[in-house]
Structures are given as C-alpha cells and as structure tokens.
Amino acid sequence: MQSDSNQDSCVFCVRGVTKIYDMGEVQVQALRGIDLELYEHEFVVMLGASGSGKSTLLNILGGLDVPTAGSVHYHRNELTTASDTDRTRYRRDHVGFVFQFYNLIPSLTARENVELITEIAKSPMDAMDALEMVRMKDRANHFPAQLSGGEQQRVAIARAIAKNPAVLLCDEPTGALDVQTGILVLEAISRINRELGTTTAVITHNAVISQMADRVISLSDGMIAGITDNPDRIQASQLRW
C-alpha cells in the first residue's frame, strides 16, 4: 500500500485510462486500462514497442489529448473533465514538452526562440539561464541552421523549461540523434531533473536509457506490462549503446 507521504508527493494519478481512436469503420484501442502514479522530482522512462501507447499516454498526461474513459489527476485537479480553456492553462503553466523534432523558428536565434516562451510565461527563468542549463549559452545568438541537430534539441529543451514547468514530458528526444549527441541531450534533461526538481518522463525505444531513470514503466499493447525501480540510476554520460 502507498504511504501518505507518497500520496502527498503524487504529481499524476492515472486511473483506468483507456483511449480509443475512432477512425469511422475502424476503432484503434491505444490504451486499455492504465493505472499509474508519477511522483514529484522523479525521472521515469517509458519503454515499449512501436504502437504500445507511449505517446498517447504522454499526450494525455500533458493535456494535449483526453482519454476515452478513466481519470487523470494532476495534483488535485482532474484533467479529463477540465474545460479546454483550463487544460490549455494547465499546459501553459505546468508542462514543458520536448519532441523528437525540434520545431525551432528558423528566423529567430536560439535566445529569441527561448524568449518567445519567457515573454508569455507566468514565472519564467531568464532565457540565458535556460540556455546555460543545456550548455548552449555561448550559442545564444546563433540561428537554428547554424546548429547541429543535438544543439537544436538542447535549445528546444531550454525553450521547454524556460517557463519553469513542474513537469517535463519528452517524446523520443534522442530519436533523431547519434549516440554522442543523444547523450549530451540526455545529460541536459537529467541536469534539469536534478537541479530544478522537474518531474520528468522520457519516452524511448532504447532500453539502455532506462539505466538513468528512477523508475522504468514498460508498456505493451496499451497496457502497463511492468514498473521497475532503479536504485542504481547512472549518469547519462555513462550510458553506451
């Protein structure tokens, strides 16, 4: 049974979540009854084969999508019954997203890409501090086309964390990168989790990355196949694949 202190530190509480995509003649059942808690400050990796439901679950946690049935609480707030406006506000105030592709604005420098967010956020960090977190401060005046894929991803991460989100959700953040570059990106994500205490979930196909997580959540065919604690979390710099 969960201790009270665990319940207090529970950031997400997911109960009985199903997701069916209705494609007219065909219905795709992406999630089939997910129960899950995510706790403050923890770093989880979500593993699973293609199509197992990882992105669907992450999008629901991030308020980008709603389940067909079940409940998702962010602290005491029920996301699934919230209005679109409240869900948008939740996303804007509390969630940073990182995707496989960086989607930086080509005509803006790294710093300006981050400032786009700091200008509209409630309690942002300084754009240069966000760039320093991902070790890109010295490239602040460079445009995306002048940066490598990994560097662009680190700027995208700076943009995601610049609003000081409580939660960072990363969907295949190293999917388009080689090993060395991927490790630099994972180091940046791990530093943010350690130094800012941001609850962090990273989706990956790469089981090696699970060695840097506090917990590993395995999905299979829309269900949780297992959750493993990892007491011997290692640094991203020690990963090899």
Ligand X SMILES: Nc1ncnc2c1ncn2[C@@H]1O[C@H](COP(=O)(O)OP(=O)(O)OP(=O)(O)O)[C@@H](O)[C@H]1O
**Alpha carbons 164 and 41: distance in angstroms, whole number:** 13
Residue closer to ligand X by CB (options 48, 144) is 48
Residue closer to ligand X by CB (options 53, 150) is 53
Residue closer to ligand X by CB (options 113, 204) is 204
Residue 50 Cβ vs ligand X, minimum distance, rounded to whole Å: 3
Residue 41 Cβ vs ligand X, minimum distance, rounded to whole Å: 25
Q: 120: helix, coil or strand? A: coil
Residue 219 Cβ vs ligand X, minimum distance, rounded to whole Å: 6
- Edge-to-edge order in the sheet of strand 215-220: 95-98, 167-171, 199-204, 43-48, 215-220, 223-229
| Both structure tokens of 195 | 């130094």
Residue closer to ligand X by CB (options 23, 145) is 23
Residue closer to ligand X by CB (options 65, 129) is 65
Residue 208 Cβ vs ligand X, minimum distance, rounded to whole Å: 16
| Both structure tokens of 37 | 């808690």
Rule CB under 6 A: which residues touch ligand X?
21, 23, 28, 30, 48, 50-56
Residue 48 Cβ vs ligand X, minimum distance, rounded to whole Å: 5
| Both structure tokens of 25 | 């003649």
Residue closer to ligand X by CB (options 197, 226) is 226
Residue 87 Cβ vs ligand X, minimum distance, rounded to whole Å: 17
- Dump strand ranges (E) for the chain: 10-23, 26-39, 43-48, 69-74, 77-78, 95-98, 167-171, 199-204, 215-220, 223-229
| Both structure tokens of 169 | 């959700």
